[in-house]
Structure formats: structure tokens, C-alpha cells
């Protein structure tokens, strides 16, 4: 449910009854249990505009609040804070309702929009690296989240499949002769070998240059080679997607080359908008206040990364009709996106009301704080990294004997991949991220295993209980009350995480929820003899809603749950 909104309305009603116009109201979660569940801290600001004493304003709220609704108790604190306690009956009833709803009480947006999420975007001439891993994981989560909340999500994989390197690469592919599948398994090596050929043999180098021109002019033979190259390369990326369990398919690919035919129009449109300037033979856009111009066409006529992105922005806003376009790309490209977004808006390629955002993320580091590399300084192959995660996860699973070998393999995949994803999503995405196997595969702390373990624990309670649970929730103590209120916060958390494109808000929430649940479970026995039936039912229902919330939360993060760990 939209818990905050409900509380805001209750406060608003109190003001209305007192004849005060006080919109918008915004309550916050209480910082300490002794301050209640929520706090209204707006009295100070209102006092200024109404020229009154803040405590007087707070008093007005307390006097006019309807205490039979969502709020049960309100108290003034300090200079004019209002501490709010939620009504346990209402909280319990809302939890009951959430349990009856397959969406566990999270509404579908009433006003959905089309959102383009640009993520993954590997380069076909190079091995997919850890930066693309981060983009893929964060982008997929953002897409799942917006999709769950009801927006129409259009996933776009802006792969780098165009540029002068491809002349050399396809010339080499032709020379190697075989189907390319084996040699292209290691793109980095393939690139090195091709480059070595290029440097050593002048006639090969000439051919490579000739092939660049030929692909660009649409020569059939070269295009066939190029397509084959891209197809194999993309196939390797898809192996990674498949292992990761992300929802990216060929249909989502809108490669750089997709925009080739519209690049010339980008230049003429910029010219028409009076934004083009020549500098050293290149076509540039100079933005006010920016020292470095955006180069959109080189002196030899070639287009650039920025030109393609301008064409893509036009396509996404006008052909796809997106109202929000989110780029999940390394923070080091923030200068690029700032400029490109500005140019697109100023040139009218993208209407004013379209939200353009760079969902930036930091660099992946190893434990010693250096950029993530193999021992010999090479790029870590993603597929190897993911395979290792599965192997390590198998070691971490304690209930090995309860599984057949195939089932254990599957479990290890869920746990291992889940751990890699969760660790990435759980940090503030803009920070650099330290990749640490031990930390990510720990059962303690803010990890996927901690969540999956709690989920499995609850499933085992239900297995032991062995009966259908029917009845309603009755909150009997402070801890149950807090657990229930936390469960009801789920929708608010998702809404905010979607707005901020911040998956770590979801992981923080899950961590709080599970920690609270574990405490509840320790203190408030469920199946133990002597617990009366009504209390048992209520606690079972709270456990059930906790499990469902963990499951839904993890599903948005692209992580599966298991019944036994
Ligand atoms: N291929 C780019 C890279 O590896 C990422 C593409 C991001 N998307 C975009 N529309 N520019 O850096």
C-alpha cells in the first residue's frame, strides 16, 4: 500500500479541519522506535509562512487528527515535531489484504509511461568486461522494477558494432577461414592476433583499411563477413546473459549500426537549428558554458559516438515514444551524456517533458582496491567469473545432502549468480565497487544468502506446520508491530527506488526487513508448544508475508529464491 501517502492525507485532513491550507505534506519514517512509526516535521516551515509558533501548529495537528484511522497516537516533541504511531488494527488489516493479493498490496501505476532502459551495450570488437556486467545487472533490475510497477519498459541494448576496427577484424576472420566460433571465443586474443597481423604485414593492413571503406559503402561480401562476426560475438554475450538470467534478447538489440542511415539527418537538423559550427574541418556543437565542444562529424566525414547517441535519442523519444530514457552506463561517460542530453533538448530532438537520465555506476575493483583484472593484467572474462561463482556457491551450501546432483547444480547456480548480482546492487551504484567473493557468499550481513536463508527458513516452518493457514493477523507486541509496518512500506520503497533508479534502496530495505524478522522469530516462537492457536496463526501469516516480500523483492533484483539451503 501507499503507506506514506495515506499518512500524509490523514495529516492534511487534520489541517483542513483546522482551516489551514498545508499542502503538500510529507511525513518521514521515524528515526528511532521511541519516536513512533512516522514523524511529521513540517510544523517549522509552516510556522514561518503562517507566522505562528511551530508548537502551536503541531498542537493543531494533534488536536484535529482522526485517531480512528491509520494513526492511533500523535505526540508533540521538541520544537514542534509530531511523532506518529500507526493503528495496529489498520496495520494488521492491511497486511491481511496484502496476503490476499498476488502483488502483495503493491498497486500498478495508474498513469504508466513508456520508459527506455539502455543497458549492457557491449562492444563487439572487444571482450565484454566487468563494466558491462554492472550495466547489465543494474539495468535489468531497473527494468524489472519499472515493469513491476506498471510502466511499459523498452529494453535497448546499444551494442558497439560499428567503427574502423571492424575492417581489420573481418579481414582477419576471412583469413582464419574457419567458422570463427572457436577463435572468437576469446575476443581479446582474436583482437590481439588480428592487430599483430595488421602491424606485421603491410598488405594485410591495406586490406583491412580497404574493408573499412567497403563495409561502409555496403559491399556485400564485407557486410556478410561483418554480420557473421557480430553474430558470433553477440552469441558470446548471450551466453553471459543466459548465465546471468537477465531478460535481454536479440529483439532488444538496437546496435550502433541501426542508426547509420539517420546520422546525416542529425547533422542537417543540427544545422537547421543553427547549432552547428565548423572547427578544424570538423562539425561541432558548442554548448554555452562548456569548453569542449561536441564533435558530431569528423573532417573526413566520419560520425562519432555522440552522433549515434543523438540519433538514438531522436528514435527513442519520437519513434518509440518514451517519456523517460535511462542510460545505465559507467560514470566515466557522464560528461558525454550531459552534453548529448543538452544538445538533444536544445535541438528539439527530444521534447521538453521527456526525462533523460544517466544512471551512472562506479568502477569494479578487486579486494586491494585496484581495477579488476586477471593475475597477468588481462581482462577478466565474464563467463569465467560467473562459472567460478557457481563453483564457490556449491561449497557454501550446507544442505548438500538434501539434493540430487542436478538439483544441487541448479541451486548452486541460483545462489552463485544471485550473490554476484546482489553484491553489485547492494552498494550505492555511483561508488566504486569492491568485488569480494567471501563477502558476497556470506550468510551474514547484507547479502543474497542472508535473504535466501531467511526465505528457506520460513518455508521450512510451513513444511513443519503442514496445514493451510487461515485467520487474521493480530499484532501483540512492539516487534510484531514494527515487522508489520515494515512489510507495509514495501510499495513506498519500490516507488522511491524507481524514481531514483537506485536498486540499493531495495536491498537496504530487504536487509532491514529480514533482520527484523529474525529477531521476531527468535523472540516470538511460532510452532512451539504452548503458543495459542490465534497467536500462532497470526505469526504464521506475518512470516508468510515476509517470505512473499523477500521473494518479490529478490525477483525484481533478478534473483531467485530456494526452499532449502
Ligand atoms: N558501448 C558502450 C561502451 O561500452 C556503451 C553503450 C552505452 N549506451 C549508449 N547509448 N551510449 O562504453
* Average pLDDT value for residue range 530-534: 95
**Residue pair 385/416 in contact by the 8 Å Cβ criterion:** no
pLDDT digits (tens, 9 = 90+) for 289-331: 999 999 999 999 999 999 999 999 999 999 999 999 999 999 9
Distance 121 CA to ligand 1 centre (A): 5
**Residue pair 451/550 in contact by the 8 Å Cβ criterion:** yes
- What span, in angstroms and rounded, lies between the C-alpha atoms of 305 and 123? 12
pLDDT digits (tens, 9 = 90+) for 41-79: 999 989 888 889 999 999 999 999 999 999 999 999 999
Which ligand 1 atom minimizes the distance to the CA of 132? Answer: 4
- Classify 535 as helix, strand or coil: helix
Question: Ligand 1 atom 5: the closest Cα is on which residue?
Answer: 121
Give the percent of the chain with pLDDT over 70.
Answer: 99
Question: Ligand 1 atom 11: the closest Cα is on which residue?
Answer: 309
Pocket test for ligand 1, best of 121, 315, 331 (most atoms within 8 A of CB): 121
Residue count of the chain, please give it: 565
Residue labelled with grid coordinates 501507499? 2
Distance 322 CA to ligand 1 centre (A): 19
- Classify 475 as helix, strand or coil: coil
pLDDT digits (tens, 9 = 90+) for 374-388: 777 777 888 899 999
The DSSP call for residue 39 is E
Distance 309 CA to ligand 1 centre (A): 9
Average of per-residue pLDDT values in the chain: 95
pLDDT band, residue 454 (cuts 50/70/90): very high
Distance 334 CA to ligand 1 centre (A): 11
Which ligand 1 atom minimizes the distance to the CA of 330? Answer: 12
Pocket test for ligand 1, best of 303, 329, 379, 382 (most atoms within 8 A of CB): 329
> Which three cell numbers mark 137?
545487472
Question: Ligand 1 atom 9: the closest Cα is on which residue?
Answer: 158
Q: What is the largest CA-CA distance in the chain?
A: 89
Give the helix ranges, DSSP H, for 101-164.
130-149
* Average pLDDT value for residue range 367-372: 85
Please count the other Cβ atoms lying within 10 Å of the Cβ belonging to residue 531.
14
Distance 425 CA to ligand 1 centre (A): 20
Distance 123 CA to ligand 1 centre (A): 8
Which ligand 1 atom minimizes the distance to the CA of 160? Answer: 1
Which ligand 1 atom minimizes the distance to the CA of 159? Answer: 1
SS3 content of the chain, % helix, strand, coil (to 5): 55, 10, 30
Bridge partners, 74 (sequence order)? 84
Distance 133 CA to ligand 1 centre (A): 13
Distance 397 CA to ligand 1 centre (A): 37
Please count the other Cβ atoms lying within 10 Å of the Cβ belonging to residue 257.
19
Ligand 1, residues at Cβ distance < 6 Å: 118, 121, 123, 158, 160, 309, 312, 327, 329
Bridge partners, 40 (sequence order)? 82
DSSP for 44-66 reads HHHHHHHTS-HHHHHHHHHHH--
Torsion of CA 239, 243, 249, 250, to 10 degrees: 0
Please count the other Cβ atoms lying within 10 Å of the Cβ belonging to residue 289.
6
> Which three cell numbers mark 218?
555496403
Residue 247 clears pLDDT 90, i.e. is over it: no
- Classify 216 as helix, strand or coil: helix
Residue 181 clears pLDDT 80, i.e. is over it: no
**Residue pair 285/277 in contact by the 8 Å Cβ criterion:** yes
**Residue pair 486/513 in contact by the 8 Å Cβ criterion:** yes
Residue 251 clears pLDDT 80, i.e. is over it: yes
Which ligand 1 atom minimizes the distance to the CA of 312? Answer: 10
Residue 182 clears pLDDT 80, i.e. is over it: no
Q: Is 373 left (phi over 0), alpha (psi -120 to 50) or beta?
A: beta
Pocket test for ligand 1, best of 134, 156, 158 (most atoms within 8 A of CB): 158
Q: Please name each of the domains of the chain with its CATH number.
A: 3-86 (3.30.1360.70), 88-106+373-565 (1.10.730.10), 163-246 (no CATH)
Distance 160 CA to ligand 1 centre (A): 7
> Which three cell numbers mark 562?
530456494
Choose among 359, 417, 355: nearest CA to 388: 417
Measured in degrees and rounded to the nearest 5, phi and psi for residue 51 equal 55, 50
Residue 180 clears pLDDT 70, i.e. is over it: no
- What span, in angstroms and rounded, lies between the C-alpha atoms of 533 and 535? 6
pLDDT digits (tens, 9 = 90+) for 216-246: 999 999 999 999 999 999 999 999 999 999 9
DSSP strand pairing (364-365 vs 433-434): parallel
DSSP strand pairing (282-285 vs 276-279): antiparallel
Does pTM surpass 0.85?
yes
DSSP strand pairing (71-77 vs 28-29): unpaired
Pocket test for ligand 1, best of 126, 155, 160 (most atoms within 8 A of CB): 160
Question: Ligand 1 atom 6: the closest Cα is on which residue?
Answer: 121
Check residue 400 and give its pLDDT. 83
Distance 236 CA to ligand 1 centre (A): 18
Starting at the edge strand found earlier in the chain, the sheet holding 71-77 runs: 28-29, 38-40, 81-86, 71-77
Pocket test for ligand 1, best of 234, 255, 333 (most atoms within 8 A of CB): 333
pLDDT digits (tens, 9 = 90+) for 457-509: 999 999 999 999 999 999 999 999 999 999 999 999 999 999 999 999 999 99
Q: List C-alpha distances in Å: 546 to 190, 394, 398, 543.
A: 50, 26, 23, 5
Secondary structure of 276-326 as H, E, C letters? EEEECCEEEECCCCCCCCEEEECCCCCECHHHHHHHHHHHHHHHCCCCEEE
- What span, in angstroms and rounded, lies between the C-alpha atoms of 341 and 318? 15
Contacts of 347 by beta carbon, 8 Å cutoff, 6+ apart: 269, 270, 273, 275, 310
Question: Ligand 1 atom 7: the closest Cα is on which residue?
Answer: 121
pLDDT digits (tens, 9 = 90+) for 255-284: 999 999 999 999 999 999 999 999 999 999
Which ligand 1 atom minimizes the distance to the CA of 131? Answer: 4
Helix axes 448-465, 503-523, angle to 10 degrees: 40
Q: List C-alpha distances in Å: 498 to 6, 51, 147, 324, 549.
A: 20, 37, 10, 12, 17
Amino acid at each position: 500500500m501507499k503507506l506514506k501517502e495515506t499518512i500524509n492525507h490523514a495529516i492534511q485532513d487534520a489541517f483542513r479541519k483546522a482551516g489551514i491550507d498545508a499542502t503538500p505534506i510529507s511525513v518521514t519514517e521515524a528515526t528511532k522506535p521511541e519516536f513512533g512509526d512516522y514523524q511529521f516535521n513540517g510544523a517549522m516551515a509552516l510556522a514561518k509562512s503562517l507566522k505562528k509558533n511551530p508548537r502551536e501548529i503541531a498542537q493543531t495537528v494533534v488536536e484535529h487528527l482522526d485517531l480512528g484511522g491509520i494513526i492511533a497516537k500523535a505526540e508533540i516533541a521538541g520544537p514542534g515535531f509530531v511523532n506518529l504511531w500507526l493503528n495496529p488494527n489498520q496495520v494488521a488489516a492491511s497486511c491481511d489484504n496484502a496476503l490476499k493479493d498476488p502483488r502483495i498490496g503493491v498497486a500498478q501505476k495508474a498513469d504508466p509511461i513508456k520508459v527506455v532502459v539502455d543497458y549492457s551495450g557491449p562492444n563487439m570488437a572487444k571482450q565484454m568486461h566487468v563494466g558491462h556486467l554492472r550495466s547489465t545487472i543494474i539495468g535489468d533490475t531497473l527494468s524489472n522494477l519499472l515493469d513491476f510497477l506498471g510502466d511499459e519498459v523498452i529494453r535497448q541494448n546499444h551494442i558497439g558494432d560499428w567503427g574502423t576496427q571492424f575492417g581489420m577484424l573481418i579481414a582477419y576472420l576471412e583469413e582464419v577461414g574457419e567458422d570463427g566460433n572457436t577463435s572468437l571465443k576469446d575476443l581479446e586474443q582474436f583482437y590481439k592476433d588480428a592487430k599483430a597481423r595488421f602491424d606485421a604485414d603491410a598488405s594485410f593492413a591495406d586490406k583491412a583499411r580497404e574493408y573499412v571503406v567497403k563495409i561502409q559503402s555496403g559491399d556485400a561480401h564485407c557486410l556478410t563477413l561483418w554480420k557473421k562476426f557480430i553474430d558470433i560475438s553477440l552469441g558470446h554475450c548471450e551466453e553471459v546473459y543466459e548465465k546471468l538470467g537477465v531478460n535481454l534478447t536479440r529483439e532488444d538489440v538496437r546496435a550502433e549500426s541501426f542508426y547509420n542511415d539517420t546520422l546525416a539527418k542529425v547533422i542537417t537538423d543540427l544545422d537547421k537549428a543553427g547549432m552547428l559550427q565548423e572547427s578544424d574541418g570538423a562539425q561541432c556543437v558548442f554548448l554555452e558554458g562548456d569548453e569542449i565542444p561536441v564533435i558530431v562529424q569528423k573532417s573526413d566525414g566520419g560520425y562519432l559516438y555522440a552522433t549515434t547517441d543523438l540519433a538514438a535519442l531522436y528514435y527513442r523519444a519520437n519513434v518509440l515514444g518514451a517519456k523517460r530514457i535511462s542510460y545505465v552506463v559507467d560514470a566515466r561517460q557522464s560528461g558525454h551524456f550531459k552534453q548529448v542530453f543538452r544538445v538533444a533538448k536544445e535541438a528539439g530532438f527530444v521534447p521538453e517533458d521527456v526525462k533523460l537520465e544517466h544512471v551512472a555506476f562506479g568502477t569494479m575493483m578487486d579486494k586491494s582496491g585496484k581495477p579488476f583484472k586477471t593475475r597477468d593484467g588481462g581482462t577478466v572474462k565474464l563467463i569465467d567469473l560467473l562459472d567460478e561463482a557457481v563453483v564457490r556457491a556449491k561449497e557454501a551450501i550446507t544442505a548438500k545432502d538434501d539434493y540430487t546432483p542436478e538439483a544441487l547444480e541448479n541451486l548452486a547456480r541460483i545462489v552463485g549468480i544471485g550473490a554476484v548480482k546482489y553484491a553489485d546492487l547492494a552498494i550505492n551504484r555511483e561508488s566504486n565497487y569492491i568485488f569480494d567473493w567471501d563477502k558476497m557468499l556470506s550468510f551474514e550481513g547484507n547479502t543474497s544468502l542472508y535473504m535466501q536463508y531467511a526465505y528457506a527458513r520460513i518455508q521450512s516452518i510451513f513444511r513443519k506446520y503442514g496445514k493451510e493457514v487461515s485467520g487474521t493477523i493480530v499484532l501483540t507486541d512492539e516487534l510484531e508491530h514494527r515487522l508489520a509496518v515494515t512489510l507495509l512500506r514495501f510499495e513506498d520503497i519500490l516507488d522511491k527506488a524507481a524514481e531514483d533508479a537506485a536498486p540499493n534502496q531495495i536491498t537496504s530495505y530487504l536487509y532491514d526487513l529480514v533482520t527484523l524478522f529474525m529477531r521476531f522469530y527468535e523472540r516470538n516462537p511460532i510452532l512451539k508448544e504452548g503458543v495459542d492457536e490465534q497467536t500462532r496463526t497470526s505469526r504464521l501469516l506475518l512470516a508468510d508475508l515476509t517470505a512473499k516480500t523477500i521473494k518479490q523483492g529478490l525477483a525484481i533484483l533478478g534473483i531467485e529464491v530456494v526452499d532449502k539451503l
